[in-house]
Amino acid sequence: MVLASAVASAVPHFLAKKMELASAVPHFLKEKTILITGASGFIAKVFVEKVLRVEPNVKKLYLLIRAPNNDSATQRLHNEVIGKDLFRVLRDKWGANFGSFISKKVIAIAGDISCENLGLRDDHLRREMMEEIDYIINTAATTTFDERYDIAMAINSMGAIHVSNFAKKCCKIKLLVHVSTAYVCGEIEKEEQVVLEKPFEMGETLKGITSKLDIEVENKLLKEKIDQLQSHNADEEAIKNAMKDFGTERAKLHGWPNTYVFTKAMGEMLFVQELKNNVPLIVIRPTMVTSTFKQPFPGWIEGLRTLDTLIAAYAKGRLNCFLGHPSTILDVIPVDIVVNCMIVAMVAHSNQFSTNFIYNVATSSRNPFRASDLQYFCYNYFTKKPWINEFGKPVIVIKKVTTLTSMAKFRRYMMIRYVLPLKVLNLASRILGKHYKDVYKDNKRKLKTVFRVVELYRPYALFKGIFNDSNTKNLEKNYSKLGMDDDDEFNFDPKSIDWKDYMMNAHVSGLMKYVIKVS
């Protein structure tokens, strides 16, 4: 069986040039050399594990890791990547030979995509990589919503130029895969507005003709802002806060809700511009990425992701209200489904230039998961499996939360429940002395933090769009023609997710095992 016309027809433009590909996706990776940037990140780890598990005959994986030197990068590789429980299936498979297998296949490289030549200092190694690399997977990013503008710009935006320039010097390169985010679309306030798999034009903004985006100007303004702060002898804390505020200001000026998605959008623009007619490019746009669905086992996760901050707060009895309508679609996607789509898209696009190169990896269109589902599953999970103390008694009494369907209702709720009592406490502190003053300051700080976090997450809690995934669906359809079922290693069909089973038996339990600690 040949994976040629079937995969080629996934995107009509591929018909101009027939692809000659192996009959099974894993064999496609055989004897290939792949560079993965941002290798200590969540998606990158799952990608690395997947490749090593399904195709042990991959030639080499270069993992670019931020570190002062290659020895430190290797140490981070073993502590932050290979040492994770994610690799236990692979570790069990190889047994005593696991270490030697990894050392032969995986090379940790100290580098940084915010620098020219990816920050590689060893000229010999750099030339060797440029001669060997078949594919580049760019997952490097800072994902903090209100990141400092200078840091977010350097990694998420200008990093695209450095990765592209490096790719153009790789003599064997067949494809560059850039992992972005579906939320580069910005805020969607119109009910069920469809978000298309459409690339940005250079200079395009989300405010149409009312604003113009010039990335060179953004860099210039950024430098001027830092120079101004330094000329006024601002300390590091003041510069950090000013850079955060400046990033948010510039993002909102052009129609994006935060610095993260704004700089990621600019990164997409730069990749398209830099690689046009030079290196084939695909852009993977996942939605809110969650724990593994099935591979290598259900429920592996690292860190609190967008949705998980709510689950963690609820588990600890600290979530009294929920911002969002019960029918709001929370577009979440398991990380292994994202990685499966990435690999199959690599097969389809290898050496192929295409106008259809954006893939929304999402669930809202074909298998929506709603806010009411999240509340229901969390309530049932923590009712059945509450934290218990040494006496076998529940530590947290789980209760249903108040749903607030708009920011106006949220502010009203907070005013009655927290702001007014805080004002009373302030009055008491003036009369009764230092103890109450300290309590007032602490509660004021906590309340300020809550409002800041809610404002950051508001665009997603009240998001009303639906992500079109036609390209992804076509890719999945043509892949399924190979006769693979839903349990196949490379399944990325969102309809295969049973939300109750996944949330109750994989995701929430995974959070409890790997992330959420009793405190």
Catalytic residue ranges: 260, 264
> Could you tell me where the beta strands, DSSP code E, fall in 54-163?
60-65, 106-110, 135-138
Locate tokens 């639906």: which residue?
466
Check if the beta carbon of residue 408 is closer than 8 Å to that of residue 422: no
Locate tokens 């060997």: which residue?
132
Whether omega for the bond prior to residue 296 falls within 30 degrees of 0, making it cis, is yes
**Alpha carbons 91 and 78: distance in angstroms, whole number:** 13
**CA–CA distances in Å: residue 209 to residues 221, 254, 263:** 21, 10, 20
**CA–CA distances in Å: residue 352 to residues 12, 175, 176, 294, 499:** 12, 8, 11, 30, 36
Q: Show Cβ contacts of residue 141 under 8 Å, excluding neighbours closer than 6 positions.
A: 38, 41, 155, 156, 179, 264
Locate tokens 């709720």: which residue?
413
Type of residue at 199: P
Q: Show Cβ contacts of residue 14 under 8 Å, excluding neighbours closer than 6 positions.
A: 7, 8, 348, 352, 354
**Alpha carbons 168 and 136: distance in angstroms, whole number:** 11
Check if the beta carbon of residue 255 is closer than 8 Å to that of residue 206: yes
**How much helix, strand and coil, in percent to the nearest 5, is found in the chain?**
55, 10, 35
b/e for 108-123, b at 16 or more Cβ within 10 A?
bbbbbbbeeebbbeee
Beta bridge partners of 175: 135
b/e for 295-305, b at 16 or more Cβ within 10 A?
bbebbbbbeeb
**Alpha carbons 502 and 132: distance in angstroms, whole number:** 40
Strand pairing category for 288-290 and 358-361 = unpaired
